[in-house]
Structure 1
Amino acid sequence: MKVKYYDFAEAMIPDERIKAILEPPHGQQINRETFERDLHRLLEEKLASKLSGVKNLLILVDDITRQTPTSWILPIVLDHVARFGIPREKVDILVATGTHRPMSLKEQIEKYGESIVNTVNIKFHDYKNDVVNIGNTRSGIPVMVNKLVLEHDFIMGVGSVIPHRVAGFSGGGKIVQPGISGEKTTGLTHWLSAKYEGREILGKADNPVRKEIEEIAEFAGLDFIINVVPDSHGNPVKVFAGEPKPTFYEAAQFSREYFSVKSTKSKIVITDSFPADLELWQAAKGVYSGDLVLDEGGALILVTPCPEGVGVEFGNLVQRYGYKGYEDVKELVESGELDNLIVAAHLVHVGRVIKDKGVGIILSPGIEAEVAKKIGFIPANNLKEALDIAESLVGEDDIILCKCGGELLPIVD
């Protein structure tokens, strides 16, 4: 059969070599009218009683790297809170960029809607300069968050819930950590996640990192969340709203059931990064899902566009150190050579797969061959070449194809 990824990668693979084709379900999304009706109902049931006496509202929203239908949500929220005496001039929107770059005006309009951009005060989180320390978690992680949380008496988070390597799932308190947190806080939670294999975190709502995230969010005063489970193309499947913790766990359970695909393992796995395609820092999500079905000693082929290269914020550090296994990165951290724990964790998350477990082959028009080699991947010019390389390293094994790898959750019995 002809196997195709994006518009730059295709190859003919004999049917008998394809062990499985894994992809999230499609076609279960709800239309805008149904979505808005459901959200109106949830806000009437769960938000109205909480708005009494609120004078200043802070809404935390995710950025262009997430597919939350925020432009559908914000007008409903603003109309709803206005009925309780909170006009738009008393509402601030803080984009929870975490460590990502700010968005262009065009991206803001696409993500939030032109009327929102023109009428509501939108600010971008700066994880280096805009944070204050408001305490420590029970385990000792400092809670450094955007100072705007101290200037508002009600904080709402808007995001989506999909499988995530660091936190188990996105959504919930993740809009605070790392969304509006400082570098030290984010570094420590991410480094904690690096101590665990991907299969111990990805797609599991109850994990050690999530416990820290939710405690940090509670510390910061997150009062209410609106979380959406979207399909892999960003179309909403279901919306949840209410108290942060129980609402998140309800959404995560639904998300796990929705994105899970049963599978076996193979020595050769081909995966893409869709929809996390902008840069390799995000595109690594395809590696994380592919890891779950990759046999020890296997070869993982990542197909990804990466128009912004390795990474806008930390790409230079990734290129300096390259992806490495856990013990190698741990040595760099403990020696003091690498003090950025956010980067250290990322190096491990990928390195566990393409160094400790097997090899990584990359096919990407946005990553030059020399850069790919420098960071620990084997570059390929086309999909056939990538397969030839994989077979030369691990033999002509059956092949598992992963589609929409940035959100896929393979479940191996």
Structure 2
Amino acid sequence: MARITFPYEGFGDAVIPDENLMAVLAPRTAEIARGGDLEEVKRALREPIGTPRLKDMVGKGNSALILIDDNTRTTPTARLLPLLLEELSSGGISSDRTAILIALGTHRFMSKAEVEAKVGKDLLQKIRVFQHDAHDESKLANLGTTEHGTEVWINRLLLEYDHVIALGHITPHRVAGFSGGAKIVQPGVSGVVTTGQTHWVSALYDGADIMGTIDNPVRREMNAVAKKARLSFIMNVVLDREERIYRCVCGDPEKAHVAGCEASREIYGIPFSEYADIVVTDTFPADSELWQAAKGIYAGDLPLKQGGILVTVTPCPEGVAQGHPELSEIGYLPFQQVKDMVDRGEFDDLTMAAHIVHVGRIIRDKGKGIIVCPGIERSTSEKLGFIFAETPQEGIDRALSMAGPGAKIIVLKNGGDILPLYSPK
């Protein structure tokens, strides 16, 4: 029997018969630069991709707006900001000419304590910090449309500074292929209309067609939005399984991002040789609510057979979706049902429609979903479309009873980040 542990206190372990377990997949642990992982960041600032050094791009008396991600992401922002600000200072931009905008997308606002942890207590006393509100039209500016018709609504602050710089991290992503790069503008600091239009594009594709692909229709639209929004420089990191900085890329928002995606695949792209009847996944580090924890579901989809069963183990202390409370009432639905509703104009929130499709394709169209989640009660879980289990062991036993005693199982660790890649023997 193989013992499977989960990164959550109080969940308990589970055992899987050796004859059922095919593989346990986990992101890689990297070799870190001598002198510590920040040495890699300093190197990347000295060697930007596709642009001059940042200090040579800016001028004395210029202003800079730094976009950062929120507390649903594990970017070590408080450690990175001092290096970025030092580079700006070397080019003549002082801290009083610099501001930070937290790219919340459609997520909830962060608390004072969360902002302090993200930015750093000392730095918070020296620099202005704003939080994006995708729903407040008075704080948005319209920049026309992209070539493919996406309406570009972005936070007005981006137009008030000479330089717009993005700080984030790069992991596989169901909507954009990979996070990072232009994604911090769209959806990070965009209006809900823009975000809904780009996200609905991703809903028209299976997860395997988007997740882990560098070039895809959604990423191209995000790049187009970011270009209109004047994003000129990125600092993106790739973290290893231990949350240490493996690679940093700086420079052009598209060229540097491509290099970062390739590095991300080196850590998170893990091969498997045979599809499984049952996939068991945690959602770490995307654990705050089910809207985020769905990242583990998307990863679990990739090695799952048609008609298979996905067992998702996640805490979700904030419940289903703080920014989209109506999701609990609608639930996850089959793709065609949602598409028909969108075509009839029954969905005002295309971002939520896309999210419903992303999960619904897996637990409604493709197979079934079992969830182990103390943060969401049984009745809500079942209304969403899941089979509820109290413990990981109960979830696995239930899946085996449904799939049969000979069912083959793959287990995913760090399900919120991992990218299972089919590689037949």
- Range of TM-score over shorter length: over 0.9
The equivalent of 1:25 in structure 2 is 28
Q: 1:223 to 1:33 in 2, by over 3 A?
A: closer
The equivalent of 1:394 in structure 2 is 403
- 1:4: Cα distance to partner? 1.8
**Structure 1 stretch 84-93 or stretch 35-44: which is displaced more?**
35-44
The equivalent of 2:99 in structure 1 is 92
CA distances 1:289-344 after superposition (whole Å, capped 9, x unpaired): 01000000010000001000001111x22112110111011122122222210000
**Structure 1 stretch 379-388 or stretch 360-369: which is displaced more?**
379-388
Query: What secondary structure, in the 3-state scheme, does the structure 2 residue paired with 1:156 have?
Result: strand
Relative to the length of structure 1, the TM-score reads: 0.97
1:135 aligned to which of 107, 127, 144: 144
CA distances 1:73-116 after superposition (whole Å, capped 9, x unpaired): 21112122223321111101000010111212222222221121
- Are 2:40 and 1:35 equivalent residues in the alignment? yes
Equivalent-residue separation in structure 1 for 2:154 and 2:382 (angstroms) = 37
Amino acid at match of 1:24: P
The equivalent of 1:109 in structure 2 is 116
Amino acid at match of 1:187: G
- 1:40: Cα distance to partner? 4.7
CA distances 1:357-389 after superposition (whole Å, capped 9, x unpaired): 000000011010000001000100112221222
Amino acid at match of 2:249: F
Equivalent-residue separation in structure 1 for 2:70 and 2:392 (angstroms) = 31
Contact 2:237 2:246 in 1 (8 A): yes
- 1:391: Cα distance to partner? 2.1
- Are 2:184 and 1:175 equivalent residues in the alignment? yes
Query: What secondary structure, in the 3-state scheme, does the structure 1 residue paired with 2:326 have?
Result: helix
- Are 2:425 and 1:412 equivalent residues in the alignment? no
Equivalent-residue separation in structure 1 for 2:381 and 2:85 (angstroms) = 46
Query: What secondary structure, in the 3-state scheme, does the structure 2 residue paired with 1:15 have?
Result: coil
Q: 1:53 to 1:27 in 2, by over 3 A?
A: closer
- 1:54: Cα distance to partner? 5.7
The equivalent of 1:75 in structure 2 is 82
2:314 aligned to which of 304, 307, 311: 304
- 1:34: Cα distance to partner? 2.0
The equivalent of 1:283 in structure 2 is 293
Equivalent-residue separation in structure 2 for 1:292 and 1:261 (angstroms) = 11
1:379 aligned to which of 378, 388, 395: 388
Equivalent-residue separation in structure 1 for 2:26 and 2:195 (angstroms) = 31
Q: 1:40 to 1:201 in 2, by over 3 A?
A: closer
**Structure 1 stretch 300-309 or stretch 128-137: which is displaced more?**
128-137
Contact 2:45 2:250 in 1 (8 A): no
- Are 2:12 and 1:3 equivalent residues in the alignment? no
Query: What secondary structure, in the 3-state scheme, does the structure 1 residue paired with 2:5 have?
Result: strand
Relative to the length of structure 2, the TM-score reads: 0.94
Task: Work out the percentage of aligned pairs sharing the same amino acid.
Answer: 43
Residues matched between the structures, number:
412
Query: What secondary structure, in the 3-state scheme, does the structure 1 residue paired with 2:202 have?
Result: helix
Query: What secondary structure, in the 3-state scheme, does the structure 2 residue paired with 1:349 have?
Result: helix
The equivalent of 1:294 in structure 2 is 304
1:313 aligned to which of 319, 323, 331: 323
**Structure 1 stretch 272-281 or stretch 51-60: which is displaced more?**
51-60
Query: What secondary structure, in the 3-state scheme, does the structure 2 residue paired with 1:228 have?
Result: strand
Amino acid at match of 2:247: K
Equivalent-residue separation in structure 1 for 2:101 and 2:310 (angstroms) = 38
Superposed CA RMSD in Å reads 1.5
Note the residue ranges of structure 2 that are not aligned, 5 or more in a row: none
The equivalent of 2:275 in structure 1 is 265
Query: What secondary structure, in the 3-state scheme, does the structure 2 residue paired with 1:86 have?
Result: coil
- Are 2:218 and 1:218 equivalent residues in the alignment? no
The equivalent of 2:253 in structure 1 is 244
2:359 aligned to which of 341, 347, 350: 350
Contact 2:95 2:127 in 1 (8 A): yes
Query: What secondary structure, in the 3-state scheme, does the structure 1 residue paired with 2:88 have?
Result: helix
Equivalent-residue separation in structure 2 for 1:150 and 1:36 (angstroms) = 28
Equivalent-residue separation in structure 2 for 1:318 and 1:9 (angstroms) = 29
Note the residue ranges of structure 1 that are not aligned, 5 or more in a row: none
The equivalent of 1:334 in structure 2 is 343
CA distances 1:336-356 after superposition (whole Å, capped 9, x unpaired): 222210000000000000000
- 1:71: Cα distance to partner? 1.2
Contact 2:283 2:296 in 1 (8 A): yes
- Are 2:373 and 1:364 equivalent residues in the alignment? yes
Contact 1:233 1:275 in 2 (8 A): no
Amino acid at match of 2:413: K
